[in-house]
Structures are given as structure tokens and as C-alpha cells.
Amino acid sequence: MSILTRNTRSTRTRSSGTSRRGIRGNQNAAGWLFTAPVIVILGLFLVLPVLMAAWVSVSDWTGRGSPFAGGTQFVGARNFEAILAGGGLAERDFGTALRNNLYYVVLVVPLQTVMALFLAMLVNNRILKGRGFFRTAFYFPSVTSTVAVTVLWLFLFNATGAVNKFLSLFGIIGPNWFQEPAGIFHLLARNVGITDAPAALGSQTLLGVTWWDWLSGPSVAMTAFILMAIFTTSGTFMLLFIAALQNLQGELEEAAMLDGAGVWQRFWYVTLPMLRPTLFTVITLGLIGTWQVFDQIYTGTEGGPAKTTMTPAYLSFSTAFNNQQWGQGAAIAFLLFGIIVIFTLIQRLLLRERVNVPRRKRMNPEPSRGRKL
């Protein structure tokens, strides 16, 4: 987003015509006419929907007829209350979905960023041959549809699937991935003999979920989706890092090399600080993307097993479309939007603290965006 705030320069196209006002008027008309289709469509299908959903989220609309018809009542914050403090199923489902997605975000964002950077550093190495081939191989999963990859993943990770077959070569008995609701932290705890919730953690709840369950970690099923996310997105972010690396010229690195800096030192003290703007972009996009898990869940698990792959995005959808609780569905969508905004702001704050890059540079972390076309 921050990429886009630069540029307000081109006001130079002013022709030398005699009747300046005429040309001006003409240009105003042309400008509005040219942008009209985009404005109309975005307004109709992005801005208006948000307003309508805002109304639905505070109404008791049941999905029949128009939400503006007489039968629909204003219910105030009741839908939000049911989700955040209702004490019932709606609250517990939202809490569970939030937990699932939180683990997904916390694991996927760092892992995909590190993986993408690692791939980019490898592929960008000038001494290596066949870099084009490897770049293609790593990027290909990013262009295929989530639906196709999910179908493939369901096959690879089924009880007798390719992954477990591969693990069995090393004598490991793999789990029944997409049927296994146990959280991986719980499984680890079980290994050291803790099978039940300690009293302190089992009795207190937050959003209808006990603290013990908040600490479960992602379920085994969710872990399979986490691996899939890394598989499908690392290629895209790798390209962003490659573009940034190619803009670095390598002079500084050579200087550091002459000064006797090792591979690690060069990476840690020279390359990484210069990649900070790109890192910022990748983490921001990662945070925004990982809170929007929908396609995989719709195609693969529909929230199961035991709701451990339920995400707020899918919960919002199924609450509205399957259970006809439109007000609650819309309310969840707004809460999700709020979560994404908050996370992005927190990340901005954290990364900005230590930044020493000139302001101008930070404003356009990816200067090659339009020029390379």
C-alpha cells in the first residue's frame, strides 16, 4: 500500500493551445469519462457492499427478500455481542476460528518469508547454472489455483498417501493428517506425560475456548495447510526478493568481502539491512493474505476435523450462507477486517522502530514495480 503513495508529478501535459479553458474543460470531461467505468464498478461492488453489510451486521435479516424491506429490525450490537460475549456456540466458534488462524499466521508468515528469501539468495547466485530452471520450478506452485493444489494436498496427505508412504521409508508412522484434530503442542505435551489440562488452564476461558485449548497449537490438519501455504506462496515472494537483490548492485557486498567479512556476516550486516523495504512489503502482504484463508477450507475440510481448520473467513461465510445468520456473518467479516488492520499496524510499528533507511526509500520499497514492464 505504501508503495502507491508516491508520485504526484505529472502535471506537465499542458498544451500550448490558445483557448486554455476549452482544453481544460475537455480534459476534465475526458478524465472523468476515462475513470468512470472503474469508479462505477468499484463503487458498486466494493464501497456500496461495505455500507450494506454494515447495516446487515446490526440487523436481524434472515436472508429472505431485501434487507431494507419492512420485516428487518435494527438490533444494535446484538450480533457482535453474540460473537464476542454470547457464551454460546457462536462465541466458541469464533474463538476457535481465531485460534486456528492465529497459529496459521504466526507460523506461515515467518516461514514463508525465510523460505522465499532463502530461495531468492540461492537462485540469485551468479556462479550457479540453470538458475532460470530453478526459478521456474519454485514459482510454478504460485500460479496454479488453490483449488487444484488443495485437491492434490488431500491426496498427498491422506492416511495411506504419498507423504506417509515417504515417511514410512524412514520408519515413521505418519498421522492421518486431515482427520487428526489434535493440536501439535498438545501432542508434544502428551509425549512428556501431560494428557489433561492443568486445573488453572482448563477452567478459565477466553471467547468460549479454554486457555488449555488456546495453547493447543495448530491441529495436525491445519499443519498440512500451513505446509501448503509455504509451498504455494514462497515462490511469489521469492520473486520480490530477487528483484530487490538485483537492484543492490553488489558493490557494498564486494567491499565487505574485501574487508574479510564471511558469508554470514555479509548476509546479516550488509544484504539483510538493505532488503528491509522488501522485507516490509513481504511481511505486510503475508499478514494480509494469511488472515484470508477461505479457498482451501471450502475445497478441503469445510472447517473439520472438530472445527480445527475453521477460519474466521470461512466461519463468516458458513454462518451467513449455511446457517442463514446473516447479521452474525457480516459482523464476523467486520471483526476480521479489524483484525487485519490491527495486525498490519502493529507490524508497521515494530518494523519502523529500528529502521534506518531514508524515508523516501521506505515509501517505495519496490521501485521496479512499473518500470520493468
Partner 1 sequence: MTALISDTPTTASPASPLPAKGRRKRQGRFIWLAYVVLVSLAVVYIFPFLINLATSFKTEPDAASDPLSLVPATWSTAAYERLFLNSDFPLWFGNSVVVTIFVTCGRVFFCLLAGYALARIPFRGRAVIFAAIVAVMAVPGVVLLIPKFLVINQLGLYDSYAGMIIPLMADAAGVFIMKNFFESIPASVEEQARIDGAGTFRTFWSVVLPMSMPAVMTIVILSFQGSWNELSHFVISAQSPELTTITKGVAQLSSGALSAGTQYPLKLAAAAIMTIPVAIVFFIFQKKIMNSTAGALKE
From candidates 175, 217, 289, 305, binder to partner 1 by CB under 8 A:
289
The footprint of partner 1 on this chain (CB under 8 A) covers a number of residues equal to 115
From candidates 84, 122, 248, 306, binder to partner 1 by CB under 8 A:
122
Q: Which is nearer to partner 1, 16 or 195 (CB)?
A: 16
Could you say which residues in the range 75-94 bind partner 1, by CB under 8 A? none
Contact between residue 59 and residue 74 where contact means Cβ atoms under 8 Å apart? yes
How far out from the chain centre does Cα 304 lie? 21
From candidates 143, 200, 258, 349, binder to partner 1 by CB under 8 A:
143
From candidates 134, 253, 267, 363, binder to partner 1 by CB under 8 A:
134
Q: Which is nearer to partner 1, 209 or 315 (CB)?
A: 315
Interface with partner 1, residue 280, by CB under 8 A: no
From candidates 178, 212, 280, 291, binder to partner 1 by CB under 8 A:
291
Sign of CA dihedral 138, 139, 140, 142: positive
Interface with partner 1, residue 161, by CB under 8 A: yes
Closest contact distance (angstroms) between CB of 92 and partner 1 is 21
Closest contact distance (angstroms) between CB of 64 and partner 1 is 11
List of E strands, the chain: 205-206, 209-210
- Alpha-helical (H) ranges within 157-219 are 162-168, 184-191, 199-203, 211-214
Interface with partner 1, residue 247, by CB under 8 A: no
Interface with partner 1, residue 37, by CB under 8 A: yes
How far out from the chain centre does Cα 3 lie? 18
Distance CA 116, CA 225 (A): 18
The amino acid present at 72, given as its one-letter code, is: T
Q: Which is nearer to partner 1, 28 or 203 (CB)?
A: 28
Closest contact distance (angstroms) between CB of 265 and partner 1 is 14
Cell 550457479 sits at which residue?
128
From candidates 247, 292, 322, 324, binder to partner 1 by CB under 8 A:
292
Could you say which residues in the range 331-350 bind partner 1, by CB under 8 A? 333-334, 336-337, 340
Could you say which residues in the range 169-228 bind partner 1, by CB under 8 A? none
Cell 489434535 sits at which residue?
182
Contact between residue 367 and residue 247 where contact means Cβ atoms under 8 Å apart? yes
Contact between residue 328 and residue 56 where contact means Cβ atoms under 8 Å apart? no
Closest contact distance (angstroms) between CB of 123 and partner 1 is 8
Contact between residue 290 and residue 104 where contact means Cβ atoms under 8 Å apart? yes
Name beta bridge partners: 209.
206
